[in-house]
Amino acid sequence: MTNFTAHNSVTRRYLKRGELIAKRRAEASQNALQKANDMHRVDRATSLGSLRDKKYQEEQQTTNRLYYSKPTREMGVTCVGRQKMKLGSKPLYEG
């Protein structure tokens, strides 16, 4: 890049902006090379025979009965029912 003398603030700004763009382009090209190198490492690691031939065990899903079962009491699971059960100092909602 040729070196120009900046005579005013506009020229200085454009020169600094050009330097910043050149710096970012250089960093982007280095990052692209690094990503290609990383992908090569990932491909090499996943191409192992022991990983390809491994059979995964299927996990059985258990039902969450604690939260998703039917309510056993006649009140059910409602906010009013919880306030009645709490016996605290909060006034009950009458509505």
Q: What is the pLDDT of residue 47?
A: 74
Q: DSSP class of residue 69?
A: S
Is residue 27 in some structural domain? yes
Is residue 20 in some structural domain? yes
Show Cβ contacts of residue 1 under 8 Å, excluding neighbours closer than 6 positions.
18, 19, 22
Phi and psi dihedrals of 91, rounded to 5? -75, 145
Is residue 92 in some structural domain? no
Domain extent at residue 3: 1-51
**Contact present, 92 and 80 (Cβ < 8 Å):** yes
Is residue 16 in some structural domain? yes
Confidence of residue 18 (pLDDT cuts 50, 70, 90): very high
Domain count, the chain: 1
Per cent of the chain over pLDDT 70 is: 43
**Contact present, 90 and 83 (Cβ < 8 Å):** yes
Is residue 95 in some structural domain? no
Is residue 31 in some structural domain? yes
Q: What is the pLDDT of residue 33?
A: 81
Picking from 10-14, 25-29, 40-44, which range would have the lowest pLDDT averaged per residue?
40-44
Q: What is the pLDDT of residue 90?
A: 66
Q: Which of 18 and 55 is assigned the larger pLDDT?
A: 18
**Contact present, 81 and 75 (Cβ < 8 Å):** yes
Picking from 32-46, 52-66, 68-82, which range would have the lowest pLDDT averaged per residue?
68-82
Is residue 9 in some structural domain? yes
Is residue 80 in some structural domain? no
Phi and psi dihedrals of 29, rounded to 5? -70, -35
